[in-house]
Structure 1
């Protein structure tokens, strides 16, 4: 009888209902552990690739780049733009069971604009916020020092992610760095620094439960290792900027895998130390730009997965001037300027790069070869990424040139230019230019987008005239993915929200 009943259950399909569903897990290879999961602590894209699934903002920018409601269902600008009222979503809870409400929003921004936020790189991005006022449990007013035309987009990411007041007060800041809690579709499970962070589905998410049961990230800095893990099936998705151009064919030739690419706001440059050495001289900086054939590097090393840039922004950035041409490759002009500046042939120069970026390492080697042609002996010094970003660059300890990669995630040049060029900013350890500071500050208070665009384009031309960096290229976002992964949508800014993805 038992065998007969079992056979009947199998035939009817009712036996399947009696078994627990198989757990669905997506494992992602990320090239960098940001070191802290607190939203106020970092600007790293690899932080956001993970944390976009842990946290929510008041607004949300979808993969098609449209701005949509997040924890705020609606908002309106009042008092000629000096105040924004947000109406908050009901019945939302943090992963620890704490209720989300207007007090959570006020706590988040008081913290961001206070002493804790002062320790990190985020606060100045939200400097337009003077205060947050609780109107009722589901309504808050943002009082602004000045209108900020990009603020609603900024509220969709990074430092603006809403955090739980009671949890942080009870456990402390250090604990929160490594045990994050948000309202997002996935909740924190375990974190092993520099190795992995594991998340699980938050069934009570206001947008519905994710299709995945588990979302795990492994920090794999070596591209060949990440691709090998993808081929073996131990990783399902490899996110940018891991995959070198030269390994695309390796993935494409595997019948189990796909390569997915999309246009990206991410730009690459070699920035100059304008304070010390030969690059203190503007003529030398321009000479170095003239001396490198950037288009040839794009064609030979990047396989067409990039576009040359004339300023430190991509062609999808608001503020980009399509009529602005890069300095051409002109080695004779380069040698003439170097001679005028008194730079002797054989002069040494150091280029600092991220040691885990195989593709850019090739680019840097090509740059060094071009510079040798015009009489500059360039050496390349690789650093562990976190060391370069958190110590060497902010402390002003770089060589004459240093790699700078920037996501420009707001798709607005302000988000790049202010942090690269304004006096005293973390990413600007060398330069101080009052005229440039004035331009950067002036555009932030203008809501007329055509006027803002004019100023941003003027900033791009001004920085190019001063040759503050060697603009190189904007590179496509390249994802390696298992064909078992379904409903995956690549996003330009790499802020992957994976609640709709599943594994077949």
Structure 2
């Protein structure tokens, strides 16, 4: 998952289109779309800068030792370095760089390609899957990576609730996993499972991880370097400060070309943009994307290129459905009026999605409805004319009246208790889109007589986990196989008790949705499965708990004088940061290196001669057991 990006994410691979830099302007015939300065209007951000830790000394250090360091400015902190716990996009992206998965997604068009497994086959009844594990993958401590590592990883997730925290849905249907030989992995299923070539689970070294006492609490953040078998080795990390990686010289696909890769956190996106201009960082990923004003401004710099590509995320407003645990105990304090579908539909009908696209995203997004972005056309869904909750404030007001929530003499809409209705909307303090749309909600819903309080926090994890919100800005990165983002709305994803942590996104539990989920999971025919997935999206839409407002573009920027070439995913009009794989950072070639990348890269991304560590500060306390994040945080 790459939560699964909740800003939360999945695996992916890339195949490159050659592109040489540094050059400014359009890319004739190339995969990237540049943001025109004249086309983007201003969208301001709050100040309140958080300065990276000692950037000047880092630059001096890099200059002295001549390292080629690819430095990425990010708007997210690490939730955990344990593959069993991590859900945030940054964390899962790091795991894609440091651990292998059985399979990967090709960067050209997202079809499945070998990873740790070189080939796979199923029994006629689809209940037994056999994978051939490559013999040329070694752990960074020199030991051979084998099928036993994969079997141990899956078995641990099957038997330990803590180890199943992040990706347990992938193994819930496993009956038995064995490794008959170092190169053979056998998985037996309880019933057919369509995701067997898309198991988004990092394989970890058994000889390291079998020593862990409590997988629910172990964050893998004390002893470095971490033992992995991906293209990079994580060499150093300091919570809320930095992450540092070096190339894995023994990686079977070939070592990365940069001497070091670092991720630096900026709480204020304007500060990150300024650092890019100064050459203090090489790439800015945004929060999760650059604003139109920032993109337009950066495009004027002759050494900076802006990549504006269709994204793999959705941007939504989630409604508290009356949060509860599997044992039936209620959680949190969601407003009781939101349990009425007429109220939920009325609120959604009072959201002008066109204004969201035109005024907030300023054209760098497309209007949303279904759960899966149009970047994945096989699963993309749109409501029919009779089903669509189109913008209609008058009808919204009538629905509220019909539900018994009428307006008093002061123009305030009141609840069944006679008190004026005010909804608390949870938002990310670091996301300008949350804040901008929040102001529109105050206007739109205010016209209905409903008050809106924006709770913009650095740490949204705690209130979300506790169900202490009415509505919240939400979003996930969707993988080429959408099973994971579908699974987080099942009853099985709820926490066992209010004290536990579940995989649920928004406490949704619906029998009809669950039935459709089980059917799609067992369906191997691609067309029939896609139809079931679209039925699930339709059901989510009708329930009214997920108002998908937009599918934002991936708007990012990099210095063309720092890198020669890099791979986008997909190859045509793809993103660089937050891919379903390691392709961008693995393929990146430093500028002036004399290496064109063998024609395997698509465009230039940032790399800087900046040797310091990456500041990943401040999105709230590091939570061991409850690692939950919302739209800005998930993969």
Same fold, TM exceeding 0.5?
yes
**Structure 1 segment 23-422 matched on structure 2, within 5 A:** 23-64=67-108, 65-115=110-160, 117-118=162-163, 120-153=165-198, 155=199, 157=200, 160-170=201-211, 174=218, 176-178=220-222, 179=224, 180-240=226-286, 241-275=288-322, 276-317=335-376, 318-322=378-382, 324=384, 326-345=388-407, 346=412, 347-384=421-458, 387-389=459-461, 391-398=462-469, 400-412=470-482, 414-422=483-491
- Find the aligned partners of 1:388 and 1:355 in 2 and give their Cα distance: 9
**Structure 1 segment 436-451 matched on structure 2, within 5 A:** 436-451=513-528
- Find the aligned partners of 1:150 and 1:124 in 2 and give their Cα distance: 11
Tell me if the contact between 1:185 and 1:209 (Cα under 8 Å) persists in the aligned partners. yes
**Structure 1 segment 426-441 matched on structure 2, within 5 A:** 426-441=503-518
**Shift of residue 43, structure 1, vs aligned partner:** 2.2
Tell me if the contact between 2:85 and 2:163 (Cα under 8 Å) persists in the aligned partners. no
- Find the aligned partners of 1:438 and 1:382 in 2 and give their Cα distance: 36
Greater alpha carbon shift after TM alignment, 330-339 vs 95-104? 95-104
**Shift of residue 171, structure 1, vs aligned partner:** 6.5
**Shift of residue 341, structure 1, vs aligned partner:** 1.7
The alignment partner of 2:586 has SS state of: coil
| Structure 1 stretches lacking a partner, 5+ long | 1-19
The alignment partner of 1:269 has SS state of: strand
Tell me if the contact between 2:86 and 2:92 (Cα under 8 Å) persists in the aligned partners. no
- Find the aligned partners of 1:116 and 1:486 in 2 and give their Cα distance: 45
In structure 2, do the counterparts of structure 1 residues 428 and 196 end up closer, same or farther at CA, with 3 Å as the change threshold?
Answer: closer
The alignment partner of 1:226 has SS state of: helix
**Shift of residue 321, structure 1, vs aligned partner:** 2.4
**Shift of residue 35, structure 1, vs aligned partner:** 2.5
TM-score by length of 2: 0.71
- The match for 2:566 is 488
- Find the aligned partners of 2:479 and 2:293 in 1 and give their Cα distance: 26
Tell me if the contact between 2:117 and 2:134 (Cα under 8 Å) persists in the aligned partners. yes
The alignment partner of 2:440 has SS state of: helix
In structure 2, do the counterparts of structure 1 residues 116 and 503 end up closer, same or farther at CA, with 3 Å as the change threshold?
Answer: farther
Greater alpha carbon shift after TM alignment, 287-296 vs 422-431? 422-431
- Find the aligned partners of 2:537 and 2:127 in 1 and give their Cα distance: 28
- Find the aligned partners of 1:330 and 1:499 in 2 and give their Cα distance: 48
**Shift of residue 364, structure 1, vs aligned partner:** 2.2
**Shift of residue 21, structure 1, vs aligned partner:** 9.3
TM-score by length of 1: 0.89
| Structure 2 stretches lacking a partner, 5+ long | 1-63, 323-334, 413-420, 495-502, 570-574, 592-635
CA offset digits 1:458-498 (Å, max 9, x no partner): 22222222212222011111111111222222335534431
In structure 2, do the counterparts of structure 1 residues 204 and 328 end up closer, same or farther at CA, with 3 Å as the change threshold?
Answer: same
- Find the aligned partners of 1:361 and 1:456 in 2 and give their Cα distance: 32
- Find the aligned partners of 1:203 and 1:270 in 2 and give their Cα distance: 44
- The match for 1:469 is 546
- The match for 1:502 is 589
The count of corresponding residues between Structure 1 and Structure 2 is 476
Tell me if the contact between 2:565 and 2:590 (Cα under 8 Å) persists in the aligned partners. no
- Find the aligned partners of 2:69 and 2:541 in 1 and give their Cα distance: 47
The alignment partner of 1:113 has SS state of: helix
- Find the aligned partners of 1:280 and 1:129 in 2 and give their Cα distance: 35
- The match for 1:10 is none
In structure 2, do the counterparts of structure 1 residues 467 and 40 end up closer, same or farther at CA, with 3 Å as the change threshold?
Answer: same
Tell me if the contact between 1:291 and 1:370 (Cα under 8 Å) persists in the aligned partners. yes
**Shift of residue 435, structure 1, vs aligned partner:** 2.2
**RMSD across aligned C-alpha pairs, in angstroms?**
2.2
**Shift of residue 252, structure 1, vs aligned partner:** 0.8
- Find the aligned partners of 2:352 and 2:358 in 1 and give their Cα distance: 10
Report which of the two has the higher share of strand: 1
CA offset digits 1:26-46 (Å, max 9, x no partner): 011121122211111122222
Moved over 4 A (4+): 116-119, 170-173
Report which of the two has the higher share of helix: 1
- Find the aligned partners of 2:484 and 2:579 in 1 and give their Cα distance: 16
**Shift of residue 242, structure 1, vs aligned partner:** 4.3
The alignment partner of 1:455 has SS state of: helix
The alignment partner of 2:460 has SS state of: helix
Tell me if the contact between 2:192 and 2:522 (Cα under 8 Å) persists in the aligned partners. yes
Tell me if the contact between 1:57 and 1:161 (Cα under 8 Å) persists in the aligned partners. yes
